[in-house]
């Protein structure tokens, strides 16, 4: 990057000085110290490395190479001399092969829109790589997290789940930055699934922005202050995995434990979005075994035919004696099964005696893949989306479900959703998935906020147990006032949780008498009885 007497750098890169020589591949590398801890450098690999980009700058920006102010639409193009920046209103600047567009501050009012789509706060570094251009966004960590949440978790989900995801995403980024030698590389993370999906700033995601603000600068640390590998996946299928067994990490960590996850399993078994399910009756009607194309009849019929059974001559029901999970994905832990054995009793057919058959449904390998998946993935057309079985006996039938979407270690997003729906707080979620309070601690780092102002915290501050909601009901004698937007109302529920029935509503400014406190909920006097309201919307 060229030096210039009018060189203006934003707060994002204020701690950095000159850039150095070019690497063997032609890309400039840093010869100075790495950026500050609260700045993350994200390679926008989802854009590839085309020869040109169309962009639009809003707010305050400066081309660091020549000190010129930049606003409105422009294009950047790779050429033999480096990078050509062409202004939409006329004029152009020929720059070298490493260009920095510096934001006037870390404020999210300063944005660069790329190719008419996503907008990015912070600084944008543009590097020529051969005949193409690579983009690297230098951005405040909290702003980065706000660009991760809506693409890693549903932005309409409960705010406590979003807060847990915010802490996990921020912690993962910090862990990654500590794992590498930042001064020796040009970026810390990519914006794709190999790191975390990140698509810049969008102020329409109000729930996401609120979750980030409410967890400002908060990260998980080990008791000694080390970085926590806060991995996460969509669904663990009912069991959290250890780091190494899941494949998400090269080794195990104390805070990534193997244990049953009833929150995830409840959602996985109940949602078609996260499971492929088959009900196996203990008595199978003969006509269904003969010709039904529904499962499990089709798969059982195929296996019986392979065993030489004259299925077409079947007149009496087939009895399912047992269903057993087999073939663990790992030797340890051993509950992530991907095979199933169904034992059936076939009645007498013609001259053939009644006989018990053991039907084994082994895992299958998709073409070109080394990984094995449950048979039902193939039978139900699920592809490689789900990775293990869950089995439950339901009276006169068994429920066989293909569950888990992802590696299963760390936070389960669908589990966090379920916990938040039950009224649990961010601390409860982090305690369950990362051992908060036992194997990890939650701290607030002394980083500047997104507006670039200095933090008032002099050192990392441990977030107290108050962050983690209590499940005990505590007697209180308080008065409060409902505080909601004038266009909305506060729901009053039958119990302390979002799963309870709404029994009424209160307008903004309504005075309430509070007699109980449970986690994030207050019990209030309502009509001739009592109801529960979320504490976040009551000013005591």
pLDDT exceeds 60 at position 94 = yes
Say whether both 363 and 420 belong to one domain: no
Average pLDDT over residues 65-85: 96
Each residue's pLDDT tens digit, 339-354: 999 999 999 998 899 9
**Residue (of 171, 105, 118) closest to 449 by Cα position:** 105
The residues pairing with 442 across neighbouring beta strands, listed in sequence order, are: 220
CATH label of the domain that carries residue 491 = 2.30.30.40
Say whether both 117 and 101 belong to one domain: yes
What is the per-residue pLDDT for 245? 80
pLDDT exceeds 80 at position 310 = yes
More confident residue, 198 or 456: 198
What is the per-residue pLDDT for 244? 85
Each residue's pLDDT tens digit, 408-442: 999 999 999 999 999 999 999 999 999 999 999 99
pLDDT exceeds 80 at position 479 = yes
Task: Go through the chain and tell me how many residues it has.
Answer: 540
Say whether both 351 and 449 belong to one domain: no
Q: Which residues, at least 6 apart from 157, have a Cβ–Cβ distance to it below 8 Å?
A: 207, 417, 420
Strands (E), 186-256: 189-190, 218-221, 232-233, 239-240
pLDDT exceeds 90 at position 449 = no
The residues pairing with 430 across neighbouring beta strands, listed in sequence order, are: none
Residue 191 resides in a domain: no
What is the per-residue pLDDT for 485? 58
Average pLDDT over residues 241-263: 88
Lowest mean pLDDT among 86-95, 227-236, 451-460: 451-460
Each residue's pLDDT tens digit, 104-157: 999 999 999 999 999 999 999 999 999 999 999 999 999 999 999 999 999 999
pTM: 0.77
Average pLDDT over residues 277-304: 96
Residue 47 resides in a domain: yes
Cα–chain center distance at 513: 39
Residue 184 resides in a domain: no
pLDDT exceeds 60 at position 477 = yes
Q: In the structure encoding, which two tokens stand for residue 191, read together? A: 């914006």
Distance (Å, whole) CA 80 – CA 63: 20
Which helix H or strand E contains 31, and what residues bound it? none
Q: Which domain holds residue 495?
A: 470-539
Distance (Å, whole) CA 535 – CA 537: 5
Say whether both 214 and 282 belong to one domain: no
Distance (Å, whole) CA 319 – CA 345: 5
Confidence band of 471 (pLDDT split at 50, 70, 90): low
Say whether both 245 and 289 belong to one domain: no
pLDDT exceeds 90 at position 60 = yes
CA-based torsion, 128, 132, 136, 137: positive or negative: positive
Say whether both 288 and 393 belong to one domain: yes
Say whether both 97 and 41 belong to one domain: yes
Q: Which residues, at least 6 apart from 206, have a Cβ–Cβ distance to it below 8 Å?
A: none
- The single-letter DSSP state of residue 11 is G
**Residue (of 291, 343, 285) closest to 316 by Cα position:** 285
Distance (Å, whole) CA 403 – CA 426: 25
Say whether both 345 and 475 belong to one domain: no
DSSP letters for 135-192: EEEEEEHHHHHHHHHHHHS-TTS-HHHHHHHHHHHHHHHHHHHHHS-GGGSS-SEESS
Identify the burial level of 397 via C-beta atoms within 10 angstroms of its C-beta, where 0-12 means exposed, 13-18 middle and 19 or more buried: middle
DSSP letters for 83-97: EEEEETTS-EEEE-S
Say whether both 48 and 139 belong to one domain: yes
Distance (Å, whole) CA 530 – CA 540: 18
Average pLDDT over residues 363-388: 90
Give percent of the chain above pLDDT 70.
87
Average pLDDT over residues 77-95: 95
Distance (Å, whole) CA 154 – CA 180: 30
Average pLDDT over residues 222-227: 94
Say whether both 26 and 140 belong to one domain: yes
Number of structural domains found in the chain: 4
Residue 366 resides in a domain: yes
pLDDT exceeds 70 at position 452 = no
Distance (Å, whole) CA 249 – CA 312: 51
pLDDT exceeds 50 at position 397 = yes
Say whether both 38 and 139 belong to one domain: yes
Distance (Å, whole) CA 284 – CA 292: 11
Residue 347 resides in a domain: yes
Residue 26 resides in a domain: yes
Are the CB atoms for 396 and 281 separated by under 8 Å? yes
Residue 282 resides in a domain: yes
Say whether both 98 and 223 belong to one domain: no
Confidence band of 453 (pLDDT split at 50, 70, 90): very low
What is the per-residue pLDDT for 12? 39
Which helix H or strand E contains 518, and what residues bound it? strand 511-518
What is the per-residue pLDDT for 30? 37
């Amino acid at each position: 990057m060229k030096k210039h007497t009018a060189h203006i750098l934003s707060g994002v890169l204020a701690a950095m000085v000159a850039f150095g020589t070019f690497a063997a591949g032609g890309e400039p590398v840093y010869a100075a110290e790495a950026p500050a801890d609260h700045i993350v450098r994200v390679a926008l690999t989802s854009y590839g490395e085309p020869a040109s980009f169309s962009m639009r700058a809003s707010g305050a920006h400066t081309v660091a190479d020549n000190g010129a102010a930049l606003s409105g639409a422009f294009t950047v193009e790779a050429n033999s001399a480096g990078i050509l920046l062409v202004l939409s209103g006329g004029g152009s600047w020929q720059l070298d092969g490493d260009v920095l567009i510096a934001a006037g501050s870390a404020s999210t009012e300063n944005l660069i829109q790329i190719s008419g789509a996503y907008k990015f706060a912070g600084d944008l570094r543009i590097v020529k790589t051969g005949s193409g251009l690579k983009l690297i966004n230098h951005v405040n960590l909290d702003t980065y997290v706000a660009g991760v949440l809506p693409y890693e978790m549903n932005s309409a989900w409960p705010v406590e789940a979003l807060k847990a995801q915010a802490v996990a995403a921020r912690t993962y980024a910090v862990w990654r930055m500590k794992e590498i030698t930042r001064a020796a590389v040009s970026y810390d993370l990519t914006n794709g699934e190999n790191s975390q999906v990140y698509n810049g700033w969008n102020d329409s995601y109000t729930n996401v922005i609120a979750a980030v603000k409410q967890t400002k600068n908060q990260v998980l640390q080990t008791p000694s202050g080390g970085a926590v590998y806060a991995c996460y996946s969509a669904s663990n299928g009912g069991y959290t995995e250890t780091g190494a067994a899941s494949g998400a990490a090269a080794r195990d960590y104390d805070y990534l434990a193997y244990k049953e996850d009833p929150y995830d399993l409840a959602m996985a078994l109940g949602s078609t979005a996260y499971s492929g399910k088959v009900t196996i009756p203990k008595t199978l009607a003969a006509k269904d075994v003969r010709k039904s194309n529904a499962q499990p009849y089709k798969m059982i019929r195929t296996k019986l035919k392979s065993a030489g059974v004259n299925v077409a001559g079947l007149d009496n029901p087939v009895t399912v004696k047992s269903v057993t999970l087999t073939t663990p994905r790992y030797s340890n832990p051993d509950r992530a099964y991907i095979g199933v054995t169904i034992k059936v009793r076939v009645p007498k057919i013609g001259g053939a005696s009644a006989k018990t058959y053991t039907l084994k449904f082994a895992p299958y390998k998709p073409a070109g893949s080394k990984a094995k998946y449950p048979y039902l993935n193939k039978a139900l057309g699920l592809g490689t989306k789900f990775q293990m079985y869950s089995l439950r006996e339901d009276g006169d039938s068994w429920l066989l479900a293909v569950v888990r979407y992802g590696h299963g270690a760390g936070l389960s997003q669908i589990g966090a959703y379920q916990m938040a729906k039950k009224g649990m707080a961010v601390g409860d979620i982090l305690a369950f998935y990362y051992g908060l309070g036992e194997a990890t601690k939650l701290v607030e780092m002394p980083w500047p906020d997104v507006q670039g102002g200095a933090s008032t915290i002099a050192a990392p501050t441990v977030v107290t147990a108050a962050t983690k909601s209590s499940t005990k009901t505590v007697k209180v004698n308080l008065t409060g006032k409902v505080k909601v937007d004038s266009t909305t109302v506060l729901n009053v529920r039958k119990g302390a949780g979002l799963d309870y029935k709404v029994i009424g509503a209160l307008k903004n400014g309504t005075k309430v008498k509070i007699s109980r406190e449970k986690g994030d909920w207050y019990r209030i006097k309502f009509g001739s009885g009592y109801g529960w309201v979320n504490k976040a919307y009551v000013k005591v």
